[in-house]
Chains A and B, each alone.
Chain A
């Protein structure tokens, strides 16, 4: 839920374009290769936004706080650039039945204040995060662990401390990819000093990650946060620079201007007004790669004409009437990749050759035929509408998708804007929205399951369309109890082939990382979750 500029994007784009014309765009193609003399004391500056909550790992949901928390804490595992989990604080994570996991920590690890990292640092932090009355935003991540309750205060009885560096986790049911989740910030440890006053701790957190806060007042609200390397960190994320300053921008346009003016080293998101020109402006310093964000729109089964056999035909017809290739090129300047499944190309197990994926190809003739077959069951009337929040950058693509549907099927189709994000999500959550609506999913951990189970399992937390199919549920359960990732991924792909027939949501495209970096930094790479790997960046 990134807050972007929301004021007259079109007009501003025009202004920015005229500024380029007035002064002549000189930066195109000037891709100077940074000199090799990396300066180990140089501080990297990167963009961010003011964290919406205190910096407590179990209470950090959004990217503004997330990138800081990820830098100053280290969990049991971290993810490398490809999303592969690598042991960080953990020495080993083992299981024999995919239900009880034994976790051994590396010995002699400390927080940046010198206090030891022990089994209790993890177990107590998880207990704190899972307790309902602590109202932590990441509470639901502890749901797989035995003892969890969503509705009442209930200790996680599945957590057992064996000794200072060993603890066990028992899940309510087998889940082979559970260790994959452990790199997410909800599972980070906390020092004992945190619990006395959690809000105060959240403004000056003590962590065990590659960076630490430069001083107790390093978080300058609404301005920036200054991080310095944490010398007591011994894990794999070795810091190659002298520190990291994350500057908070309310408006990405200002961040982009700073990047061009050499006031910013790394930018992880290009403002939509500059999407058409940024690759020219930045040359080889521009980044445009797929990431773990999946975009779709959901048609709830409760909507008239969208259940049963008629519904399945209409959903397939709609999907085949959308010209994804043209829309991603024209509206997004190639910064989206047309979807070929329900997950993301950066996830292990993704494939673009699911047998049912033809339904995601633009095929106007077949779409018309399917729609006519549905009309034979029950004639269509009314307008097909897609709901979206008008304070985000959604109108252009919703209108384009609606037009594509309208032109192909010859029916009335349009967008249905809801004024604010809060109002939009409220109507989706309480099921009062009466149209189809846009849905997006950014994965919290790099596994196929995270894109599928929370969204399409019966009664799952984010199953906003109330989709239910016992065959899909059975495959999800089977996948969770498989002992190898490949076998689990095969089950998830089988489930996706069913989803491609039922189309509870119509897949649209994967978002790309659009970013860039300055002339004085090198080794800039973005992780699977579109976050730059700050620790590896060098600056001359």
Chain B
């Protein structure tokens, strides 16, 4: 097991270099000069543009820029944004916000998704099952910005139950509405997954055996059916957590959440190389770690899965 983890972590090293290089190259290859764009519709003085390009190393060839950046990272310096803020500070300020949002969203979708999916699976074909099917189909087919706008307008503007956007410090109360919006689509997926998995497990021999040896339903459902139905759901949840962590650009934009997606989007628009690359690199690393944790979780849920050294 230890060897397995070590090997997975070692694999992350080439991935780190590969992604930073690729992303840096793509930002570098973006059309247009970010310095000229700083001046808006005015045409800047060429000598001043040259001065600014030198200040941000934009006058160097691509490969030199890349190594200046990578060298900085190993000294704990992620570069500096055009507004003079160290990118490391921006990372430290935005990731906790997105993490908070992701955890709340994950909490909602897990609790409600598995609960509704389990009941649907156990009462296949009944009214509850049919209505949960209809609701989850509606949620899956709606684009997220529609849910976000309707949620914001109804609960924020009309009813006044929630703040329309997230306030300073991103308090948990403000994050509930955007988290519910983010959770809504995954909720539908989890309901469908849990339901079919529960139906499949319920018809397996060991469940029948458990019933026939007289175990109570209260023990069979959580221990025998649910636990064995969770493997596909856990895979999905972990991937989804990864997706939530790297930020939800659209939802964060609509609710003005000062998180990763929102910040990255603005940095891309400004062609702010160091910010874009640092954010994406941290995202890739997080994604790798989350995936590793999922693979380890399988072993806990299903003892038949073993890790090859």
Contact = CB atoms under 8 A, between A and B. Distances in A.
Contacts, number: 197
A396 interface: no
Interface stretch (A117-125, A253-261, A529-537): A253-261
Interface in A316-354: none
Given A137-B39, A261-B164, A422-B31, A132 B82 contact: no
Contact of B45 (A50, A133, A140, A442): A140
B255 interface: yes
Interface in A7-21: 7, 11-12, 15-16, 18-20
B82 A52 contact: yes
Contacts of B149: 12, 15-16, 19
Nearest to B254: A254
Given A15-B149, A253-B254, A1 B32 contact: no
Interface in A247-269: 247, 249-251, 253-255, 257-258, 260-263
Interface residues on B, range: 35 or more
Interface string B222-256: 00000000000000000000000000001001111
A426 B164 contact: no
A222 interface: yes
B253 to A, nearest CB: 4
Nearest to B89: A221
B33 A422 contact: yes
Nearest to B159: A23
B168 interface: yes
B152 to A, nearest CB: 5
Interface centre among A132, A137, A249, A463 (most CB of B within 10 A): A137
A135 interface: yes
Given A54-B84, A250-B266, A421-B32, A135 B164 contact: no
Contacts of B269: 3, 6, 391, 420-421
Contact of A250 (B30, B31, B256, B271): B256
Interface in A421-440: 421-429, 439-440
Nearest to A5: B253
Contacts of A261: 156-157, 160, 163-164
Interface stretch (B48-56, B179-187, B287-295): B48-56
Interface in A235-294: 247, 249-251, 253-255, 257-258, 260-263
A421 B163 contact: no
A263 B163 contact: yes
A260 B265 CA distance: 25
Given A19-B150, A199-B84, A391-B269, A251 B253 contact: yes
Contacts of A419: 31
A128 B33 CA distance: 25
Given A254-B253, A257-B152, A439 B41 contact: yes
B39 A61 contact: yes
Contacts of B169: 223
A258 B168 contact: no
Contacts of A440: 41
Nearest to A226: B168
Interface string B14-51: 00000000000000001111101111111111011001
B57 to A, nearest CB: 13
A456 B183 CA distance: 55
A447 interface: no
A445 interface: no
A424 B271 CA distance: 14
A249 B164 CA distance: 13
Given A5-B253, A423-B31, A429-B36, A135 B51 contact: yes
A254 B250 CA distance: 11
A202 interface: yes
Contacts of B41: 1, 425, 439-442, 462
Interface of B: 30-34, 36-45, 47-48, 51-52, 55, 82-85, 89-90, 93-94, 143, 145-146, 149-150, 152-154, 156-158, 160, 163-165, 167-169, 250, 253-256, 258, 262-263, 265-266, 269-271
27 contacts: A3-B269, A12-B145, A15-B149, A16-B149, A18-B146, A19-B149, A52-B270, A53-B83, A54-B84, A132-B47, A150-B45, A150-B48, A202-B84, A222-B266, A251-B256, A255-B256, A257-B152, A257-B153, A258-B165, A261-B157, A261-B164, A262-B160, A425-B32, A425-B40, A429-B44, A440-B41, A464-B43
